[in-house]
Chains A and B, each alone.
Chain A
Amino acid sequence: QSALTQPASVSGSPGQSITISCTGTSSDVGGYNYVSWYQQHPGKAPKLMIYDVNNRPSGVSDRFSGSKSGNTASLTISGLQADDEADYYCSSFTSSNTRVFGRGTKVTVL
Chain B
Amino acid sequence: EVQLVESGGVVVQPGGSLRLSCAASGFIFNDYTMHWVRHSPGKGLEWICLISRDGGSTFYADSVKGRFTISRDNTKNSLHLQMNSLRIEDTALYYCAKGQQYFQNWGQGSLVTVSS
Contacts and interface: CB of A to CB of B under 8 A. Distances in A.
Interface stretch (B24-32, B39-47, B67-75): B39-47
Contacts, number: 63
A100 interface: yes
B45 A89 contact: yes
Interface residues of B, number: 23
A69 interface: no
Interface size class of A (residues with CB under 8 A): 20 to 34
A36 B101 contact: yes
Contacts of A38: 45, 103
20 contacts: A1-B61, A36-B103, A45-B106, A46-B37, A48-B102, A57-B104, A87-B44, A89-B44, A89-B45, A91-B45, A91-B47, A91-B102, A91-B103, A96-B59, A98-B59, A98-B60, A100-B47, A101-B45, A102-B44, A104-B44
Given A93-B101, A99-B47, 13 more contacts: A1-B61, A38-B45, A38-B103, A45-B106, A45-B107, A45-B108, A46-B45, A52-B102, A91-B47, A91-B102, A98-B59, A98-B61, A99-B35
A15 B2 CA distance: 33
Interface in A64-110: 87, 89, 91, 93, 96-104
A98 B102 contact: no
Nearest to A104: B44
Nearest to B62: A1
Nearest to B50: A99
B97 to A, nearest CB: 8
Nearest to A3: B44
B59 to A, nearest CB: 5
A32 B43 CA distance: 26
